[in-house]
Amino acid sequence: MPATVPETSLPSINSVPEVVNPIPADNPIGAILLSKRHPLLLRADFSRVSELVSQIYLSTQFQPIWFTANRSEKNLNDLLSILNNASNDALNPANYDVDHLKQLINEPNPDSAAVAGYDVALTVSLVRYLHDLRHGQVDPRDVEYPVHIAPKPTLDLAGLLKQYLAAQTLTEVVGQFEPKTKQYQQLKQIFTRLQQLGNQTGAQEFKPGKMLRPGDKHPHIVHLRQRLRDMGLLDNNSAADSKTYDNDLVAAVKKVQQQQGLTADGVIGSATAALFNQSSSEKIAQLALAMERARWIPDTTDGPMIVVNIPAFELWAFNSVDDPNPLNMKVVVGKSPSNQTPVLWEEMKYLEFMPYWNIPKTIYEKEILPKAANNQGYLASQEIELVRHQNSDEKGGGSYLRARQRPGKKNPLGRVKFVFPNTADVYLHDTPGHAAFNRPRRDLSHGCVRVSAPEQLAEFVLGDQAGWDKESIKQAMSAPKTRHVTLKRAVPVLFYYGTTFVDHQNQLRFYPDVYGQDEQLKKALDKIHAPTTASSTPNNQLVMSKSTDVGTNP
């Protein structure tokens, strides 16, 4: 119960508390912050980071932090260096007005109104960069495909900035905001290496001009061999000058074909040949998309973790970040385009052995009810029963009939499901039919993820839980009754969409864009790229005073 409040402290029933805005409108800096627009920046609207920028100036009582009486040239140079190096993380320095900021910094004898404008311009650009680096340029909740990942917790940017500016070590602030996940760091290493190599495609294009079969000879085979070495699929002991399409090459090509959803027969036709002609610039563009997605992932802690890479149709279960031998298995994911498995980050809370399948209303009405209408005994034959479900008071009370399928061989959830409560109502589960795991492309489900090795996954999840071993798990998966097992330690689960992905052997893999999400992400990124309508000269000064005409908030 809440503590009793003395009557004397209660506000009058008719009183309306005065809303006090801590940002002063009659202050030049405050006026810019209130408008959430800055005419000196190519992207004038800075509303996405306005709260962070306001917190910084709130701590200085809305006084400049860069253009002070004893301004630090080192801090200013460090700021430019940080923004200039944005490309190291696949971010565009132009999006942070770095060239324009150089002019502002070097502008001679600006008046106080101009100083306010210049100061806020520098701060907005830095905050934009750090925010993009930590959270991504695109908010994943704003894209058109299903995403269920909560934003990362914000850092005390105002406090950190004050600390590093005072110590004149501003460049060190970047490390606080750079994503710490292993996937991001691996992608960045490869991205840096490819940038250094540049585009080297033209001199060694692999264009055989005809179909190649195992054992064929062709002068371009030497280029194919080098491509496969670069991809980490062929060791350096392979004869570099051989023009024969030998067994080692065939095995490596089959792996690539399988990854890309092609028939893994080792025959090189036009579609397979195209896989080996991707230029460095094309790979860099793919890596940039992958790094953007990796920024959405929460910073992981050491311990067990499960990752499903949707376009790879694979699951990995790691005991630790550096686990050299993770559990790996094939999976079936949601069908494109109507039943996409969402991108999500949740914690697995429990398992259900021999589970009931609570049939979603849409599946029942569209798929099961028409069959039942034509066959009176259909529900009984499929062991489907109708049960009354009571709504909670929070949902308005009342009850309704719900269809569910009893545990058994006909149940599509198989013998175990792994549950991590989420708003998309998806989970990992076994399946009675395993033929689909032999297909190269496995987007076949209604959205949940079917696993090919449920017993091994159960062993992984229950590995440190007393009373569970291979035998007890096997018994639970064949018991006549449902058994609910709560995990003593929740296991993080990531459903990830990585068409460009670094595996646990530090090898870069490319997978088919089965849901078309790469193109959607490209469009979202294109929308935020800096326009070119703002003035490029510092003479376009802000004149701020008590009578400043502040633009309306976006």
CA distance 181 to 339: 29
Q: Which residue bears the tokens 């005072």?
A: 166
Residues 6+ apart with CB under 8 A from 507: 231, 232, 233
Q: Strand, helix or coil at 455?
A: helix
The DSSP H or E segment spanning 132 is: helix 112-135
Give me 143's structure tokens.
Answer: 């894209």
CA distance 479 to 499: 39
What are the helix and strand counts (H, E) for the chain? Answer: 18, 15
Q: What is the pLDDT of residue 551?
A: 28
Q: What is the pLDDT of residue 536?
A: 43
Per-residue tens of pLDDT for the chain, all 554 residues: 334 333 334 333 344 445 456 899 999 999 999 999 999 999 999 999 999 999 999 999 999 999 999 999 999 999 999 999 999 999 999 999 999 999 999 999 899 999 999 999 999 999 999 999 999 999 988 888 889 998 888 899 999 999 999 999 999 999 999 999 999 999 999 999 888 876 444 446 788 889 999 999 999 999 899 888 877 778 776 676 789 999 999 999 998 887 776 788 999 998 888 888 877 788 899 999 999 999 999 987 788 999 999 999 999 999 998 888 999 999 999 999 999 999 999 999 999 999 999 888 888 888 888 888 888 888 888 888 888 877 777 777 788 788 888 999 889 999 999 999 999 999 999 999 999 999 989 999 999 999 999 999 999 999 989 999 999 999 999 998 999 999 999 999 999 999 999 988 788 888 889 999 999 999 999 888 755 444 444 444 443 333 233 222 23
Q: Which residue bears the tokens 């306001």?
A: 54
Residues 6+ apart with CB under 8 A from 175: none
Closest C-alpha to 517, from 387, 342, 299: 342
Over the Cα atoms of the chain, what is R_g?
Answer: 29
Q: Which residue bears the tokens 């119960």?
A: 1
Q: Are 317 and 305 in contact (CB under 8 A)?
A: yes
Residues 6+ apart with CB under 8 A from 342: 145, 146, 147, 148, 424, 426, 447, 495
Query: What contacts 24+ positions apart, CB below 8 Å, involve 192-200?
Result: 192/88, 194/280, 194/283, 194/284, 194/287, 195/87, 195/284, 197/280, 198/280, 199/279, 199/280, 199/281, 200/280
Q: Which amino acid is at 366?
A: K
Q: Strand, helix or coil at 375?
A: coil
Q: Catalytic positions, please?
A: 429, 448
Q: Are 297 and 345 in contact (CB under 8 A)?
A: yes
- Helix then strand then coil, in percent of the chain rounded to 5, is 40, 15, 45
CA distance 179 to 91: 13
CA distance 153 to 144: 23
φ/ψ of 345, rounded to 5, equals -140, 110
CA distance 173 to 177: 7
User: In 92-158, which ranges are E strands?
Assistant: 147-148
Q: Which amino acid is at 350?
A: Y
φ/ψ of 505, rounded to 5, equals -95, 15
Closest C-alpha to 39, from 97, 107, 117: 117
Q: Are 57 and 117 in contact (CB under 8 A)?
A: no
Which is it for the CA torsion 183, 189, 192, 194, positive or negative? negative
CA distance 179 to 294: 8
The DSSP H or E segment spanning 459 is: helix 454-461
The DSSP H or E segment spanning 50 is: helix 50-58
Give me 280's structure tokens.
Answer: 């460095």
Preceding omega of 28 cis (within 30 degrees of 0): no
Give me 364's structure tokens.
Answer: 């029942």
Q: What is the pLDDT of residue 204?
A: 67
Residues belonging to the chain:
554
Q: What is the pLDDT of residue 31?
A: 96
Q: At what angle do helices 73-84 and 112-135 cross, to 10 degrees?
A: 40
